[in-house]
Amino acid sequence: MVYVISMNLNNFFSSQIILENELLILQPLAEIDIDAIESISYSDELGEFGKRVKSRKDLAEYFDYCFNSKKAKELYPFIIFNKTNNKPIGITMFGNISFPHKRLEIGWTWIGEQFQGTGINYQCKKLLLDYCFDELRLRRVEFKIDIKNIRSQKAIEKIGAIKEGLLRNYNIQSYGESTGTYIYSILKDEWEDIKLNKSYENYILQR
C-alpha cells in the first residue's frame, strides 16, 4: 500500500488501482474494455459523454483521449463493473492531481442509463473518496459540474459535497460554450462525519 508520503505522479499513474466493495469493482480502463463499454453507450442520457460519443469511431477516439491523458499524467480513468455479473456500469476518473497540496478532482463520470438513480453513483463515489482520504491521505477532493447539469449537481450535493462557487465561462462542452461550472468539494473531516452518519447513508441508498 502506497501512501502520500512517497506518492508522486509517476508512481501513481504507473500503479494498478483496484477498488471494490460487495457491489462494485473499479479498475483501470483498458483497451479490451471498449466492447463492454459500447454495450451501454450511445444514449443522450449520459451527459457530456452521451453528447460526444455517437458511434464506434467516437468511442475509439474517447478511449484514445483517456489513454493519452493517462500517459500525460492528467487523468486516471476507471471502468466500473457490477461485481455480481461482471457487466459494465460506466466510467469515472481522477484528475487535476496535486500531491504537494494533497488534493485531486473526481469527475468525468458517466453511469449507464439503466443504472442511474439506483444508488450506484454513491457507492462508486464512496469507494473513490475512501481511497483518497484513507490511503492517499488527501485533505480535499473536488468536483466540477456544468451549470446545466442539474442531475449531477443534486447527486453530488446528496453525497455531502459543498458548493463553493461558480466558475464563469469555464468550459466549452459538446453542445457549445458553457456559461459556467460549479465547483464543489469534500474535506477529509467532512467525509469522516458523513460516513459516521448511518441514517444519511441509508437515505442515499434509498434514492
pLDDT beyond 90 at 59 = yes
Closest CA relative to residue 169, chosen from 161, 160, 179, 159? 179
Give the containing element (helix H, strand E) for 142.
Answer: strand 140-146
- Residue 72 and residue 65: Cα distance in Å, rounded? 10
Find the range with the poorest average confidence among 141-150, 156-165, 190-199.
190-199
Q: Is 134 in a helix, a strand, or coil?
A: helix
- Residue 194 and residue 181: Cα distance in Å, rounded? 25
Give the containing element (helix H, strand E) for 103.
Answer: strand 103-111
pLDDT tens for residues 92-110? 999 999 999 999 999 999 9
pLDDT (average), residues 43-63 = 92
The whole-number pLDDT of residue 172 equals 79
SS3 of 152-181: HHHHHHHHCCEEEEEEECCCEECCEECCEE
In contact, 90 and 112? CB cutoff 8 Å: yes
In this structure, the number of other CB atoms found within 10 A of the CB of residue 88 comes to 19
DSSP state of 31: G
Between 44 and 124, the more confident residue is: 124
What's the burial of 195, exposed, middle or buried (CB within 10 Å: 0-12/13-18/19+)? middle
In this structure, the number of other CB atoms found within 10 A of the CB of residue 130 comes to 14
The residues, any chain, with a CB within 8 Å of residue 23's CB and separated by 6 or more, are 82, 83, 84, 120, 123
pLDDT tens for residues 27-42? 999 999 999 999 999 9
The whole-number pLDDT of residue 178 equals 82
Q: Is 77 in a helix, a strand, or coil?
A: strand
pLDDT (average), residues 167-174 = 84
Q: What is the mean pLDDT of the chain?
A: 90
- Residue 152 and residue 54: Cα distance in Å, rounded? 21
The structural domains of the chain, ordered by start, are: 9-206 (3.40.630.30)
Query: In angstroms, what CA-CA distances link 171 with 56, 75, 108?
Result: 25, 17, 13
